[in-house]
Amino acid sequence: MKILYFGDVMGSAGQEVLLHYLPELKEQYEPDVVVAQGENLSNGRGMKLDDVRRLQQAGVDFFTGGNWTPFDDAIRPQLENPAEPIIGPANFEAYTGPSAKFLEKNGKKIMFVSLLGQTVGKPLPGVGNPLTMIDEILDEELAKRTPDAIIVNFHGDYSSEKRIIGYYLDGKVSAIVGDHWHVPTADAMILPNGTAHITDVGMCGNLHSSLGVSLDSVIPRWKDNVQTKNELDQSKPWQLNAVLIETKSASKSDSITQIQKLLN
């Protein structure tokens, strides 16, 4: 099974570059399932339902989340509905939806889990241990059903956490995909026991910025120690970062390939 996974879609620029390249990528790679990290989909913080539906209509099948995801009450019904293809981090007490969600496509069943790193910018209250949480989820869900693929999203800052959980889950899930940095890492690989892994997919959005935020809004804060508001830079050029994962089973993959595009 081919799974096309887009890194953090950062505001309207991220949406536009994804929408621009998605038809081309679908024609080139023929993915069975398209996934987008939607944590920054709407103005950089969380997901608005209108934006989710817009990308769904264009061909995105599933959305993973992160630290902002649980805090928009307007999308809470979708997060809590097992049938809605949007998931938040299972180890975050602010998230009240299912720990795992399932997508059926082309006769195959894919299980999705999203987890937070225990340090996201700064220690985040209410975040449980992701290793013990994923053990509990796998034990519970695999006792009830056998999916054709298991995709775990790990939304965190520390490369050490992302690497460790990759090896911890090696041979237990099809793939573990890291994000939240917005900077792609050059380490997409199949781990020794068959699990596909990347430390960070990267982002979709403005290229010449601080993770999608305008340099004019962050440099004075650092240089002059003044309070500024993060302003998204939606101007071009836009970058797109994704991975194509070819899964073999619920515990192994055949390949993971990084995809990078630039739109001037």
The predicted structure's pLDDT at residue 83: 97
Answer whether 52's CB lies under 8 Å from 41's CB. yes
Residue 243 confidence (pLDDT) above 90: yes
The predicted structure's pLDDT at residue 122: 62
Answer whether 174's CB lies under 8 Å from 150's CB. yes
- 131: containing domain: 2-263
Which H or E run includes 24?
helix 11-29
| Structure-model confidence comparison of residues 226 and 148, the more confident one | 148
- Comparing 100-104, 154-158, 190-194, the range with the smallest average pLDDT is 154-158
What is the rounded CA–CA span in Å between residue 144 and residue 224? 56
Average pLDDT, the chain: 95
Residue 118 confidence (pLDDT) above 90: no
How many residues are there in the chain? 264
What are 169-179's pLDDT values in tens digits?
999 999 999 99
How many helices (H) does the chain have, and how many strands (E)?
Answer: 6, 15
- Comparing 149-158, 217-226, 245-254, the range with the smallest average pLDDT is 217-226
Distances in whole angstroms, Cα of residue 32 to Cα of each of 67, 80, 171: 28, 25, 22
- Residue of 8, 54, 41, 2 lying closest to 153 (CA atoms): 8
Query: What's the structural domain count of the chain?
Result: 1
pTM: 0.96
Long-range CB pairs of 187-194, under 8 A, 24+ apart, other chains included: 188/243, 188/256, 188/257, 188/258, 189/256, 190/253, 190/254, 190/255, 190/256, 191/166, 191/167, 193/251, 193/252, 194/170, 194/248, 194/251, 194/252, 194/253
What is the CATH classification number for the domain harbouring 7?
3.60.21.10
Residue 139 confidence (pLDDT) above 90: yes
Q: How many CB atoms lie within 10 A of CB 139?
A: 9
Q: Is the peptide bond between 237 and the residue preceding it cis, with omega within 30 degrees of 0?
A: yes
The predicted structure's pLDDT at residue 120: 58
Residue 35 confidence (pLDDT) above 80: yes
Q: How many CB atoms lie within 10 A of CB 250?
A: 19
Q: Is residue 127 very low, low, confident or very high in pLDDT (cuts 50, 70, 90)?
A: very high
